[in-house]
């Protein structure tokens, strides 16, 4: 197929591009390079089945493709909060523009949503039926509510126009190709440990996250993409193994043999206390579950950042 991939120069987009090309698809890669890195596209530029376009999804686009994968939006709080208006516009206007293309071409669209739609959850693990506990006017709401609005649009277009829209809710994902200044917890901890800086933990470190290695996530995305029908539900994709921030920090210090100390800072506004996916739908509908354990994934990610820091 000829696939339109937005957010292609980002962390997840670069891994998806590699996988799609390896499976024989053609990729029209789109990114406005606000947070994506053109170097992530370097390995593909000589491939005849790869085409890169610098474009902002907030502007309409017309292109001949067979499927759309929408990954256009900063996913790190430090990035999506730096320009909150652009963030919510990307989620809302970008979604509308891509849905218009999907409708005009009568092609499937897969939307990359997020576990952030659950907000600071009152229940754990979080099933897809849970409506969430989200502050609509807080500093994270440009992303949280933006993604919730994107899901609304996908399902309204599905019901009203019969469009094949598919929504995945991605939980914390990590791996090679993350930027050094990405701002997410795994990359922060690893870079700080490798450079013997203090590791910053917000709050007392008891808040939890579940970490999915990028290879596992890409497998799940492709299974969702290739599903022969359009599910009438979002599907959680993440690793249900749960770790506290303090456990993660100590593990990174141990694996990097770092001299870093831990520095506790105030917890940011609306920072979730818990994040753990219920993946029973992914198991039953996609026959998918993560395979890479945290130690293995961290080892591969530490190796990547060690190389990046030497450049």
What residues form DSSP beta bridges with 3? 27, 67
Q: Does residue 311 register a pLDDT over 80?
A: no
241 contacts 303 by C-beta, under 8 angstroms = no
The H or E element that residue 309 is part of is: helix 294-310
Side-chain half-sphere of 28: how many Cα atoms within 13 Å? 16
Confidence of residue 269 (pLDDT cuts 50, 70, 90): confident
Would you give the end-to-end CA distance of the chain in angstroms?
A: 36
Measured from the Cβ of residue 48, the count of other Cβ atoms closer than 10 Å reads 7
Q: What is the CA radius of gyration of the chain?
A: 19
Sole residue written with tokens 């256009």: 72
- pLDDT tens digits, 37-65: 999 999 999 999 999 999 999 999 999 99
Measured from the Cβ of residue 65, the count of other Cβ atoms closer than 10 Å reads 19
- Pick the catalytic residue from 143, 157, 202, 229: 143
User: 3-class DSSP state for residue 244?
Assistant: strand
Whole-number pLDDT of residue 176: 96
- pLDDT tens digits, 127-139: 999 999 999 999 9
Total H helices, total E strands in the chain: 9, 13
DSSP 93: H
- Predicted TM-score (pTM) of the model is 0.95
Q: Does residue 232 register a pLDDT over 90?
A: yes
- pLDDT tens digits, 88-115: 999 999 999 999 999 999 999 999 999 9
Sole residue written with tokens 């249900």: 240
User: In terms of Cα–Cα distance, which of 78, 19, 29 is closest to 50?
Assistant: 29
11 contacts 178 by C-beta, under 8 angstroms = yes
Whether 143 is catalytic is yes
Domains of the chain: 2-174+211-240+275-291 (3.40.50.720)
Average pLDDT over residues 172-183: 92
Confidence of residue 77 (pLDDT cuts 50, 70, 90): confident
The pairing of beta strand 26-31 with beta strand 2-6: parallel
221 to 112, 138, 156, 209, 282: CA distances (angstroms):
9, 30, 22, 20, 10
Whole-number pLDDT of residue 245: 94
Provide, for the chain, the percentages of residues in helix, strand and coil under a 3-state DSSP scheme, each rounded to the nearest 5.
40, 20, 40
């Amino acid at each position: 197929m000829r696939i339109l991939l937005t957010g292609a120069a980002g962390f997840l987009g670069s891994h998806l591009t590699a996988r799609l090309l390896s499976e024989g698809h053609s990729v029209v890669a789109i990114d406005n390079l606000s947070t994506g890195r053109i170097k992530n596209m370097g390995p593909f530029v000589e491939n005849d089945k790869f085409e890169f376009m610098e474009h902002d999804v907030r502007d309409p686009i017309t292109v001949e493709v067979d499927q759309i994968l929408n990954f256009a939006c900063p996913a790190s709080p430090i990035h999506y909060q730096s320009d909150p208006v652009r963030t919510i516009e990307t989620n809302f206007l970008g979604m509308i523009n891509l849905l218009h293309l999907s409708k005009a071409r009568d092609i499937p669209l897969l939307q990359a949503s997020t576990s952030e739609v659950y907000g600071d959850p009152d229940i754990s693990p979080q099933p897809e039926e849970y409506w969430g506990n989200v502050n609509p006017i807080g500093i994270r709401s440009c992303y949280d509510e933006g993604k919730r609005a994107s899901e609304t649009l996908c399902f309204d277009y599905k019901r009203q126009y019969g469009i094949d829209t598919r929504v995945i809710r991605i939980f914390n994902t990590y791996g090679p190709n993350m930027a050094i200044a990405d701002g997410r917890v795994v990359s922060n901890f690893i870079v700080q440990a490798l450079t013997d800086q203090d590791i910053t933990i917000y709050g007392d470190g008891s808040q939890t996250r579940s970490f999915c290695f990028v290879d596992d996530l890409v497998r799940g995305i492709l299974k969702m993409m290739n599903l022969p029908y359009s599910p009438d539900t979002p599907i959680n994709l993440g690793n249900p193994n749960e770790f506290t921030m303090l456990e993660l920090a100590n593990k990174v210090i141990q694996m990097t043999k770092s001299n870093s100390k831990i520095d506790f800072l105030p917890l940011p506004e609306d920072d979730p206390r818990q994040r753990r996916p219920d993946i029973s739908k992914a198991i039953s509908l996609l026959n998918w579950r993560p395979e890479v354990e945290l130690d293995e994934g961290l080892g591969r990610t530490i190796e990547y950042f060690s190389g990046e820091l030497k450049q």
